[in-house]
Amino acid sequence: MSEPTATTETTAATDTTQPTDTTEAIDYTRLFRLDGRRAVVVGAGSGIGRECALALAAHGAEVVCADRDVAAAQTTVDLGGGARALQLDVLDADAVARAARDLDADGGVDVLVFTAATNVRKRLLDYSGEEFDRVVALNLRASFELVRAFGAGMAARGRGSIVGFSSIRAVSVEPGQGVYAATKAGLVQLLRAAAVELGPSGVRVNAVAPGVVDTPLTAQIRAVPEWSEAYASKSALGRWSHAHELAGAVVYLASDASSFVTGSQLFVDGGWTAIDGRYTPPS
């Protein structure tokens, strides 16, 4: 019995890949703090993006609130959600690249969060090519341009966190959501690829996957009681989420609390994807 013990001790002593216990050096009270870091939140003018900007700023980040509607972005700033507003149309690849260059020249960006997306709720056979291109352009192509533009500067500086918003539709589809679901599944793989490629440069890339969220974009569903209740009952918590309930996941992924998390998709869906079907058998 003594020989295996001796061998194990020798291996551990000479294995330089063993993690070092640094518990005493870590100040856990600051684990989620973002002081001294600049975050860009794309889609900060309303909904989930606004709440993310507010949360990041509350944890000490200098937040640039970017949105196509600069007045809405300024409202977020005025609410305490950032240092300044930036007009940005993510469908304009040149504008995205220019914004990234300007911010890189002005100290760089440590955190990028983007939430912008659109949906045309139609069955596949009813979709037009123009509608398909419109959904793909915002949900996938614009994400590609954001990751490229801001990821380059992060990689050059050797640090950064990119957080994109996917959806439960990346893994769960219903009729009329096919193209949207395809773009969200594609986004997850795009972000995973970025995590693999940018990881050696110290850049982490992750996705947050919301369930059904009460925002202006889902007002159409909320306006139909039967539809709204069906969605609520699908989650384990039996309700819709609110935009502010997504902000904590973003703070986590932006901060050192998630320093070894990359290439992941964090579901904030109230247990939607944990449930198989809507029928509860009698006990």
**In the chain, where are the structural domains located?**
32-270
pLDDT of residue 79: 97
Q: Which region holds residue 140: left if phi is over 0, alpha if psi is between -120 and 50, else beta?
A: alpha
180 is catalytic: yes
pLDDT of residue 25: 86
- Smallest CA-to-CA distance from 160 within 173, 170, 172, 147 is with 147
In CATH, the number for domain 32-270 is 3.40.50.720
Q: How do residues 63-118 score in pLDDT, each as one tens digit?
A: 999 999 999 999 999 999 889 999 999 999 999 999 999 999 999 999 999 999 99
Amino acid at 260: F
28, 127, 180, 252: which one is catalytic?
180
* DSSP bridge partners of 23: none
- Smallest CA-to-CA distance from 243 within 41, 68, 37, 55 is with 55
Q: What is the pTM of this model?
A: 0.89
Q: How do residues 142-177 score in pLDDT, each as one tens digit?
A: 999 999 999 999 999 999 999 999 999 999 999 999
pLDDT category of residue 196 using cuts at 50, 70 and 90: very high
pLDDT category of residue 12 using cuts at 50, 70 and 90: very low
